[in-house]
Amino acid sequence: MKDWFYKFMQGRNGINHFSRFLSTLGTVLLIISLFLIRNTFGNFILLFGFACVFYSNYIIFSRNKVQRAKENQDYLALRRIFLGFFGKKKNKMKNLKDYKYLKCPNCKTEMKVPRGKGKIKVHCKNCGHDFITKS
Ligand SMILES: [Zn+2]
């Protein structure tokens, strides 16, 4: 049985980050769809869940490793952008007590200044514009 499986998987792509993500997403969607009333939206979730699981298996058993590796890279790049975006937002929320976020009136670059310092002069590192603001 193990031997057979090993032979079967030879030359195939196997599990990667993207296939793992798709099978998790697909499983979650299928579970969610169980709790939805069978309307258009519920059917869509069900169908999409099946599609994710199906494609995840397609990746694992695919023999086109080059194409699958490219897909996986694209997925990882997207994930990095996504996580980076939410990481920044979280950081900003944490800092909101001690820092004030403002935009340079000249070039619209976002910057942070310490709170509770009264009137301060801010120097934009991007364009060199100076302006006075309340902190
Ligand atoms: Zn500026």
| pLDDT tens digit at each of 135 positions of the chain | 678 888 888 899 999 999 999 999 999 999 999 988 778 888 999 999 999 999 999 999 999 999 999 999 999 999 999 998 888 888 888 888 899 999 999 999 999 999 999 999 999 999 999 999 998
CA distance 28 to 22: 10
The CA 125 to ligand 1 mean position distance, Å, reads 7
The CA 16 to ligand 1 mean position distance, Å, reads 43
What is the distance of C-alpha 99 from the center of its chain?
Answer: 26
The CA 92 to ligand 1 mean position distance, Å, reads 20
Return the number of other C-beta atoms located less than 10 Å from residue 37's C-beta: 6
Q: Beta partners for 121?
A: 132
Contact 101, 110 (CB under 8 A): yes
Contact 52, 26 (CB under 8 A): yes
Output the pTM of the full model. 0.65
Q: What is the pLDDT of residue 55?
A: 97
Neighbours of ion ligand 1 (CB under 5 A): 104, 106-107, 109, 124, 126-127, 129
The CA 84 to ligand 1 mean position distance, Å, reads 23
The CA 124 to ligand 1 mean position distance, Å, reads 5
